[in-house]
Chains A and B, each alone.
Chain A
Amino acid sequence: MDVIKKIGVNLTLLGLLGAYFTAILGFFWAPSVDPDQWNAPEAYRIVYWHVPFAWTSFLAFCLLFIGSASWYVSRSETGWRLINVGSELGLLFGAGVIISGPIWGSVEWGVPWDWGDVRLNTYALLTALAIFLVMALRSQPDGEGTRDTLAAIGLFGFVLVPITAIATTLWRDRHPGLVIVDSEDSGIDPEIRLILMLGTISFMAIFIGLTIVIDSIHRIKSEIEQQNISKDRVGLT
């Protein structure tokens, strides 16, 4: 257990270092983009964090969904752990998306938010859900009822994804396509691609490291609670 925790901590630190270098490279080394095709050409550099945030938050929300479904269907303890991990990481990385996105949007498109954008609004809803779950996990007593309610809320959040897609499609779409996969037609500069890959790998390292650390903390808290419950039953001596 100690070895695994150390791996988690070290991965997180390594990832943070990588993210730091990504930012440095993105600001000072990455090439500029064609000013005729962008309204705020220098603002594009936020993409080196925005895209990795989006990818890792997507993974976090997947963990949250799998955990919610797993607890809901079979009351699996692993499912409950995934809910704990997924909601905290979803909050962290989701907040990164909905902060960096509007910063970029306000200079590139002139508006910080577009209610007609499927991806942006889906991320916002899921991040709000993650905030709710993190607040609830920290404030509510652990119990079958609490777990059932939070798993149900987790699943409800994911039903919101197609509802949001329907709702926003009825409105309009102004968000550019995400560019991660290389293709001959994508026209991504090799240097931009390199920095994006560095950023993505760094954020993945942070993601995996934090997953290990958060799960370890959750396990320790559970063990302490088990011991406290046993002492409750002993009563007064």
Chain B
Amino acid sequence: MEPGNLVEVSGIEVHRGRSMVLHEASLSLGKGEVIALIGENGSGKSTLIEAISGIIPLRSGDVQWRLENDSNRTVRDSQGRRRPLPPMGLTLQKDGMCGEETVIERIATALSVSGLSHDESILTRLLEEWGLSHRSKSRVAHLSSGLRRRLSVLSGIAPVALSRPPRVSILDEPSEGLDTASKNLLGGWIRAMARNGHGVIIATHDKEVIQWADRVLEVCDSSLKESPGESSGPELNLPKPLEMAGQTPIASLMKWTISMEMRNPVDTVGRAVPAIVAILLAYALVGSIDPIDHGSNLLAALVLAPPFISAVTSPAISRRLSEEDCGRWWNANVGPISRPAFSIIGSSVIIPIPMAYFSWIVLAGSVDSQVSIEVLKWLWLPAICMIDLAIAATSLHLLASDLSRPGAVSASLLLIVLVWPFLELTEALSMIIDNGMQITLQFNGPLVTCFFASLISALVWISAVLFPDT
């Protein structure tokens, strides 16, 4: 990689179906440079942006980025290798934001993911400059399209503009939906970022935006044609650079997920309600008979069915990530570890244990008290294994949600394999009911049976997260 370059794209080939969108496309972005990507609709501008961000696979060539310690890293190549990007700013064509986020939270997340420390006063000043401070506590879903676009653009340039070391900002149609004043502000910031040594790549149709560029690359007939830019536009003063905070993108993702769920607990409610309905239905239907008289297997199945239902329910995280390319934004920022991280963070880790206990208390009222005490002492074991099953289920839902139209397929078809871990856990609970807990490594003991259930769930999880990203 040439010294002085922040990004180098070498001979990449990208296909859409049998059609080649980009062929032998190469570009380099130097420090302090602004590049505009132009071209007709469908020419491949957004495809090139996504290839540079490491989001899409390559048929040939590679994409390299310069790190903040001055070494370089191949973030994507045609062998299927993918590595995380260094901190950068990204604005996708579809905003890349979840409607549940608040305005101030969005900017905070964009800065945290890129490792910059901040406090509320810094965020407020940023929002004031961009005319968003009066909406700081509003949810993104409640903004007009123009304000949403303004916020999305600010999220893509703030992590770069407020950084001391040179970084890269990638913007896909940033001026779309912006008013004149916002566009002028954007232009001023971009020229100021270039003055500070940062690199900016902008995909655009807008003639005014093209004038800001130092170089113009036209995407035409699957290749790139270069021409000089005008480098025009006022340079404004940027806010003072921020210090590094040391927070990892994964930690930001966890904080974001918890925050979304606390604000709108649709995942918790969506999992708990069907489980509770299942408990009540089971009670209503078997209330007049004693399930234990029909064998401990039946009772174990009735007790574990509600937590199983809560575990396999479609997670809210897959819907949140599907909103406006939110998942692609996180994917670009977090890197190849995003899939395993989403599957764990978005799973039902809180519900299975209390649900199992609630289920036992409601359905096992007539069971001998000694047996009940023993079961209550050890019910947490199969319930914890249910968490493994939940993680496997979430990974399968996320596998299906990778498709452009996930609502057109049924992820439940992939979940059938999770019947066996459920059957194993039922068997384990049945053994505990019949013989009490045995802390032995006997093949037919509850401990080993629970282990096998977790093993099957783990194998399913590994397969679901490993294949798509290699």
Q: Determine if B284 is an interface residue (Cβ-Cβ < 8 Å).
A: no
User: C-beta contact mask, B12-25 vs A, less than 8 Å → 1, else 0?
Assistant: 00111111000000
For B463, what are the chain A residues with a Cβ–Cβ distance below 8 Å?
156, 159-160, 163
Q: Determine if A40 is an interface residue (Cβ-Cβ < 8 Å).
A: no
Give bound CA distance, A152 to B468, whole Å. Answer: 5
* Residues in chain A within 8 A of chain B (CB atoms): 72, 75, 77, 115, 124-125, 128-129, 131-132, 135-136, 139-150, 152-153, 155-156, 159-160, 163-164, 166-168, 170-171, 222, 225-226, 229, 232-233, 235
From 409 to 456 in chain B, residues with beta carbon under 8 angstroms from any chain A beta carbon are: 409-411, 413-414, 416-417, 419-421, 423-424, 452, 456
Q: How many A-B residue pairs have CB under 8 A?
A: 123
Q: Are A140 and B399 in contact (CB under 8 A)?
A: no
Q: Are A153 and B414 in contact (CB under 8 A)?
A: yes
For A77, what are the chain B residues with a Cβ–Cβ distance below 8 Å?
18
Q: 9 A-B residue contacts at CB 8 Å?
A: A124-B416, A129-B414, A141-B404, A149-B399, A160-B417, A163-B460, A167-B420, A232-B41, A233-B42
Known contacts A170-B424, A235-B40: A132-B409 contact under CB 8 Å: yes
| Chain A nearest CB, measured from B92 CB (Å) | 14
Give bound CA distance, A77 to B19, whole Å. Answer: 11
Nearest chain-B residue to A138 (Cβ)? B408
For B17, what are the chain A residues with a Cβ–Cβ distance below 8 Å?
142-144, 147, 222, 225, 229
Q: Are B16 and A136 in contact (CB under 8 A)?
A: no
Known contacts A124-B416, A144-B16: A163-B399 contact under CB 8 Å: no
| Chain B nearest CB, measured from A61 CB (Å) | 15
| Chain B nearest CB, measured from A3 CB (Å) | 24
Give bound CA distance, A134 to B411, whole Å. Answer: 13
For A225, what are the chain B residues with a Cβ–Cβ distance below 8 Å?
17-19
Nearest chain-B residue to A140 (Cβ)? B403
Q: Are A152 and B399 in contact (CB under 8 A)?
A: yes
For A143, what are the chain B residues with a Cβ–Cβ distance below 8 Å?
15-17, 404
Give bound CA distance, A168 to B421, whole Å. Answer: 10
Q: Determine if B294 is an interface residue (Cβ-Cβ < 8 Å).
A: no
Q: Are A156 and B464 in contact (CB under 8 A)?
A: yes
Q: Are A170 and B452 in contact (CB under 8 A)?
A: yes
Q: Are A149 and B18 in contact (CB under 8 A)?
A: no
Q: Of A141, A155, A170, A222, which is within 8 A of B18 by CB?
A: A222
